[in-house]
Amino acid sequence: MENQNFEKSPSEAREEWLQRLDSFRQEFSSLKGNISEGWDKLENELRKLIEEVPQFKPAPVGVSWEELEVLTGVLEEINRGKKQSEVLNSLLQGVGEYFQRVALFVISKQEVVGWLAKGFAVEGVPAGRGKVTLPLTQENILNEVYTNQTTIIARPEDQPENDQFLQSLGEALPKQMMATPLFVRGKVAAIIYGDQGDSLEEMTMVPMVEIMGRVAGMAVELLPLRRKLAEAPPKPKPPEKAEERKEVEAPPSPETATEAELKVHEEAQRFARLLVSEVKLYNEVQVALGRKNRDLYQRLKDDIERSRQAYNKRFPSLAATTDYFYEQLVKILAEGDESALGIQK
């Protein structure tokens, strides 16, 4: 049976594919709570979506079948990433197939921070990873993408402060440029930038970059589930050997505590460790910046408080005597340096 996409126009086929991709993303969110049941379904659906990318006929103007094959390979590489940095590196390499110069900027508090680049004078980081830092309020293409949450194609003169942004990359101004958002958990977490240098070549590959960004955002969201599936279930420790209980403000005494009470404390410690590890996994770049600037809590406040609420809801009886969640914030996010959290007590 022939693929029905062959009978549709390129724009109709692409729109239908993107709608299915969004539907898959929503389904993923609803299945988060049941990892074992939902994972096979999610992975099979994502694999099916990737396989169907090159079946959109006729190809859009300016896009060859070879270029669609490149897109499929990039999506598969993104999907293989086991860490956020691997996903983003694969994304940047993929976008670099279509543009002479590309860069990835992450959103951190009210700033846009240069994370990685390709095609500029210095490979990797054009002007120093920590050096390219711009306020979100600056009127440039990045601000417009963040504010409108959509792809922007522009010329340097289209936004009043594009010159300052482009000069920070240390390169000549391009004739035209594009930027598109990368969404994680429904928020703009990063912005993908690309240009063709001094060429006026039409940017026919922007839809490909948008697809890459959508898949990369979902891949980042899937990382915690993949890690949980890869990890063997922790072996229960005998009460007398449970090292974590030594860190508790008021640990239950082995002589007086019941087996059920000890089990509750062990479960609370494991749950707190899982929640904080997930916060770290979703926000690798922000965690690194937060440790450096000693403001982890302010940078990750929303994620931390959401996880704390989940912890308190599950273990309300421990709130008055112990704070395993805070212990894991110090241990995992701050690497043992409590002051890196930036919490004023």
Q: Is the confidence at residue 130, as pLDDT, over 50?
A: no
21 and 41 share one domain: yes
73 and 204 share one domain: yes
Q: Is the confidence at residue 8, as pLDDT, over 50?
A: yes
Distance CA 18, CA 152 (A): 18
Domain of 113, in residue numbers: 4-227
CATH of the domain at 195: 3.30.450.40
Q: Is the confidence at residue 151, as pLDDT, over 90?
A: yes
| Beta strand segments in 85-186, E | 101-108, 111-118, 133-135, 152-154, 177-184
Which pLDDT belongs to residue 152? 93
71 torsion bin: left (phi>0), alpha (psi -120 to 50), beta (else):
alpha
Quick: pLDDT tens for 40-96: 666 666 666 666 554 443 344 455 667 777 888 888 889 888 888 899 999 999 998
Q: How many domains does the chain have?
A: 2
186 and 242 share one domain: no
Tell me the backbone φ, ψ of residue 191, rounded to 5 degrees.
-130, 130
First to last CA, the chain: 67
Element (H, E) at 195: strand 187-195
Please compute the mean of the pLDDT values over residues 236-265 and round it to a whole number: 55
314 and 178 share one domain: no
291 and 155 share one domain: no
49 and 160 share one domain: yes
pLDDT, greater one: 65 or 165 = 165
Which pLDDT belongs to residue 244? 43
Which pLDDT belongs to residue 193? 94
Are the C-beta atoms of 93 and 119 separated by less than 8 Å? no
Q: Among residues 227, 256, 285, which one ends one of the domains?
A: 227
The dihedral formed by the CA atoms of 101, 106, 110 and 111, expressed in degrees to the nearest 10 = -40
88 and 194 share one domain: yes
14 — pLDDT class (breaks 50, 70, 90): confident
28 and 129 share one domain: yes
101 and 203 share one domain: yes
90 and 133 share one domain: yes
187 and 43 share one domain: yes
Q: Among residues 201, 227, 253, which one ends one of the domains?
A: 227
* Sign of the CA dihedral running 257, 260, 263, 269: negative
30 — pLDDT class (breaks 50, 70, 90): low
Please compute the mean of the pLDDT values over residues 255-271 and round it to a whole number: 77
Which pLDDT belongs to residue 239? 46
Which pLDDT belongs to residue 198? 80
Q: Among residues 200, 227, 254, which one ends one of the domains?
A: 227
Which pLDDT belongs to residue 150? 93
29 and 174 share one domain: yes
**Within 10 Å of residue 24's Cβ, how many Cβ atoms?**
17
